[in-house]
């Protein structure tokens, strides 16, 4: 089972929006060095809605190549078309990904039965382990705990990224799910409480810019070192909130650019981070100690 801090990695882009594979490789090397325990490629933070089908597959293949089995690669392969989600999952398997992350279908608002059949069809098309991804704030459709537990009966449905930020939902799922079903926080602010309740890790935005701290916080919580975990989380609280001053990944890409780790590229309809928020995010970066990596940019 995957445990600990799994980064929902950004997709580096050049100022004109072209994919920047050199920067992606260097980011993955950095995460390996910092102890990140898994890479989620082409998820929400990776701008999956604005990369085309071929780019999506190329990013998965590149992440697998760059990681070189030094840490797991979880490929974002979801979609609101079951057929397309199956095709992406099949590609991820062939490319050598270790897991697939499959988001609840968005926009078309499937029922609970529709969601169940969608994920079952994906799981039955492959032997790749599938992690469900419930983020109703973006998809509108909400995967209920009851439907999640139905899906957990399928052998290769192995976990869920819960981005509801609901402690009640998380606690109920942890109480009722089988012990080997991975439950991961999908909201940084809820990571520590869920870990204390028995969750297995996080799929994190904050880990993009503070990978060592997120790794250490998760490790402390999983080992029962509550005081240490709380102390680290207190340092990170500003990032957990200020990285969402505008829609993710706008702020985190600005922060990484400010640190000199990526170029400034982001694709429409996302826009550059509003200057009125720069000071707030810089303060949060300083509180976490990542200001030491800042690089002045024009």
Tell me whether residue 286 is in a domain.
no
Query: What is the number of helices (H) and of strands (E) in the chain?
Result: 12, 8
* Residue 119: domain span: 4-229
What is the pLDDT, as a whole number, of residue 298? 37
Tell me whether residue 224 is in a domain.
yes
Q: Which tens digits make up the pLDDT trace of 126-139?
A: 999 999 999 999 99
Tell me whether residue 272 is in a domain.
no
Instruction: Please indicate whether residue 161 is annotated as part of the active site.
Output: yes
What is the pLDDT, as a whole number, of residue 293? 64
Beta-sheet strands, E only, within 124-271? 130-134, 157-162, 182-185, 201-204
**In this model, does residue 291 exceed pLDDT 90?**
no
Q: Can you name the residues that pair with 7 across neighbouring β-strands?
A: 39, 204
What is the pLDDT, as a whole number, of residue 297? 43
Return the structure tokens found at 4: 């600990």
Q: What percent of the chain has pLDDT over 90?
A: 96
What is the pLDDT, as a whole number, of residue 296? 46
Tell me whether residue 263 is in a domain.
no
Q: Which tens digits make up the pLDDT trace of 63-122?
A: 999 999 999 999 999 999 999 999 999 999 999 999 999 999 999 999 999 999 999 999
Q: 266 in helix, strand or coil? A: coil
The CATH number of whichever domain residue 136 belongs to comes to 3.20.20.70
Q: Give, in degrees to the nearest 5, the angle at Cα 282 between 38 and 213.
A: 30
Identify the active-site residue in 99, 161, 184, 253: 161
Residue 202 and residue 6 in contact, taking contact as beta carbons nearer than 8 Å: yes
Tell me whether residue 241 is in a domain.
no
How many beta carbons lie within 10 A of that of residue 120, not counting itself? 17
What mean pLDDT is predicted for residues 24-45?
98
Residues 223, 205: Cα–Cα separation, whole Å: 22
What band does 266 get if pLDDT is binned at 50, 70 and 90?
A: very high
What band does 211 get if pLDDT is binned at 50, 70 and 90?
A: very high
Residues 70, 64: Cα–Cα separation, whole Å: 10
Residues 82, 84: Cα–Cα separation, whole Å: 6
pTM: 0.95
Tell me whether residue 96 is in a domain.
yes
What is the pLDDT, as a whole number, of residue 23? 98
Residues 235, 285: Cα–Cα separation, whole Å: 9
Residue 275, class by beta-carbon neighbours within 10 Å (0-12 exposed, 13-18 middle, 19+ buried)?
A: exposed
Residues 174, 63: Cα–Cα separation, whole Å: 31
Return the structure tokens found at 63: 């992440």
- Total number of domains constituting the chain: 1
Q: Give, in degrees to the nearest 5, the angle at Cα 23 between 17 and 27.
A: 125
Average pLDDT value over all residues in the chain = 96
Q: 272 in helix, strand or coil? A: coil
Q: 191 in helix, strand or coil? A: helix
Residues 71, 73: Cα–Cα separation, whole Å: 7
Tell me whether residue 27 is in a domain.
yes
- Enclosing H/E stretch for 7: strand 4-8
**In this model, does residue 292 exceed pLDDT 80?**
no
Q: For the chain, what percentages of helix, strand and coil (3-state, to nearest 5) are there?
A: 50, 15, 35
How many beta carbons lie within 10 A of that of residue 111, not counting itself? 10
Instruction: Please indicate whether residue 61 is annotated as part of the active site.
Output: no
Tell me whether residue 236 is in a domain.
no
Identify the active-site residue in 116, 133, 184, 253: 133
Q: 285 in helix, strand or coil? A: helix
């Amino acid at each position: 089972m995957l445990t600990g801090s799994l980064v929902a990695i950004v997709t580096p882009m050049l100022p004109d929006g072209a994919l920047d594979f050199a920067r992606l490789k260097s980011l993955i090397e950095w995460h390996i060095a910092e102890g990140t325990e898994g890479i989620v490629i082409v998820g929400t933070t990776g701008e999956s809605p604005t990369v085309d089908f071929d780019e999506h597959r190329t990013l998965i293949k590149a992440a697998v190549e760059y990681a070189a089995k030094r840490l797991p690669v979880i490929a974002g392969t979801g979609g609101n078309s079951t057929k397309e989600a199956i095709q992406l999952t099949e590609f991820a398997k062939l490319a050598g990904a270790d897991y697939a992350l499959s988001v609840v279908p968005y926009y078309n608002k499937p029922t609970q039965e529709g969601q169940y059949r969608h994920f079952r069809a994906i799981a039955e098309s492959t032997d790749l382990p599938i992690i469900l991804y419930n983020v109703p704030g973006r998809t509108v459709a909400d995967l209920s705990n009851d439907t999640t537990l139905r899906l957990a009966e399928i052998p290769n449905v192995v976990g869920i990224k819960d981005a509801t930020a609901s402690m009640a939902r998380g606690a109920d799922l942890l109480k009722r799910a089988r012990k080997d079903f991975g439950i991961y926080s999908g909201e940084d602010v809820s990571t520590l409480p869920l870990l204390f309740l028995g969750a297995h890790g996080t799929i994190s935005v904050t880990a993009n810019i503070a990978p060592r701290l997120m790794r250490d916080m998760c490790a402390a919580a999983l080992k029962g070192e509550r005081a240490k975990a709380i102390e680290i989380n207190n340092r990170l609280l500003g990032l957990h909130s200020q990285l969402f001053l505008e829609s993710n990944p706008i702020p985190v890409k600005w922060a990484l650019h400010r640190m000199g780790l990526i170029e400034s590229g982001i694709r429409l309809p996302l826009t550059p981070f509003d200057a009125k928020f720069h000071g707030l995010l810089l303060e949060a970066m300083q509180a976490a100690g990542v200001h030491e990596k800042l690089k002045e940019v024009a």
